[in-house]
Structure 1
Amino acid sequence: MERLFDTDTEVANRNFEQMIEAVQNRDTDSLKTLFSKNAVESSENFEKDAIALFDFFQGEMVSYDDWGGGGADASRDQTGEWKFILSTYDVETDKAQYRFAIKQFTKDTTDPDNIGIDSLYVIRAENSNLQYAYWGEHKWNLGITVE
């Protein structure tokens, strides 16, 4: 998931592009591989949530802006170490504009099943204050949340 010299923004963008491709192709299996095992297992019905995302996201992506992305947090203690990236994206398709908020773990030595997208939020851009980065509801629920 993370190459040795990639910046957090490069990692976040690469994973975001793979996620958007899976959404546009309505490919539940590919989307599922981007999420952590714990996020998928914690979801009541990941496949149903993926279909809701596919139905919500309309059109082909024209462009995206990662202006609120690539912020990372990391920690280490006697039990292990972890790192996650928080990012937000504005996405324009040929039919609508969206905002995404993503939390993804790139490292967790105490629980490798946390590695991958932990939380994904998406909203129509017109339902958000475009002056500020979009961070979902700040709860970072596991899995997919379509608002």
Structure 2
Amino acid sequence: MNKNKLLLFTIITLLTLALSSCSLFYKTYSRDDAKISETRFDEIIEALNNKDSETLKAMFSSNALKEADNIDEDIEYLMDFYKGEIISIESAREGSDSKDGDDREIDLKTLNFVSTDEDEYIVFYIDNLTDTKDPDNVGLDMLQIIKQSDRKTQFDWGGDKTYCKGIYRPPTTETTTD
């Protein structure tokens, strides 16, 4: 009888340890996508409000900066385009985590519906949180700020219609080349 009690106690103890270790692993290594995207949003808006083009530019990954056509002009465009103090924000996000052998990529797409005292905007960005294969991809990949009224024609979650490295500008917005 004592052997059965000892065996039962051992099994219960092992199960408890196994289940609690999964819980500890999850709590330790899970990321808070809401907090990450909220922090990035705050950084973007603060840079725009302060007309701090260097801080905004520094948020982009090295590869996005290399591949963007006119990043400095695009940042100036955004600083002129986005106006007002925030009244309300509604957010949605989509995270993706992929692993191929030892290589791991984590991306976070964030969509914010922003109402300011001057207009209503969509602030969308793709933030590469991790890329073990190419660390130069870590940082903002794409930033798009458009008026909410242009959502149907200019927004597709960074799909074929609107994806670009750096800052999205509507096709009707002119850029100059040096």
Give the TM-score taking structure 2 as reference length.
0.72
1:138 pairs with 133, 147, 159, which one? 159
- Please give the residue correspondences for 1:16-95 in structure 2 after superposition, counting only pairs within 5 Å: 16-66=41-91, 68-69=92-93, 71-78=94-101, 80-95=103-118
- Please give the residue correspondences for 1:109-124 in structure 2 after superposition, counting only pairs within 5 Å: 109-124=132-147
Higher percent of residues as strand:
1
- Does residue 13 (structure 1) correspond to residue 34 (structure 2)? The answer is no
User: Per-residue displacement from partner, 1:61-90 (whole Å, max 9, x unpaired)?
Assistant: 222211x22x11111113511100011001
Task: Give the deviation of 1:119 after TM superposition.
Answer: 0.7
- CA shift in 2, pair 1:137/1:118, >3 Å: closer
Asked if structure 1 preserves the Cα contact closer than 8 Å seen for 2:123 and 2:143, the reply is: yes
The percent of aligned pairs where both chains have the same amino acid is 28
- Higher alpha-carbon Rg: 2
User: Per-residue displacement from partner, 1:20-55 (whole Å, max 9, x unpaired)?
Assistant: 110111111110121111111111221100001111
Give the TM-score taking structure 1 as reference length.
0.86
Amino acid at match of 1:60: E
**Could you list the runs of 5+ residues in structure 2 that have no partner in the other structure?**
1-28, 171-178
RMSD between superposed Cα atoms in Å: 1.9
Asked if structure 1 preserves the Cα contact closer than 8 Å seen for 2:68 and 2:164, the reply is: no
- Report which structure shows greater RCO (CA 8 Å, sep ≥6): 1
Number of residue pairs the alignment of both structures matches? 139
Structure 2 CA distance, aligned partners of 1:142 and 1:89? 19
**Could you list the runs of 5+ residues in structure 1 that have no partner in the other structure?**
none
Asked if structure 2 preserves the Cα contact closer than 8 Å seen for 1:122 and 1:136, the reply is: no
Higher percent of residues as helix:
2
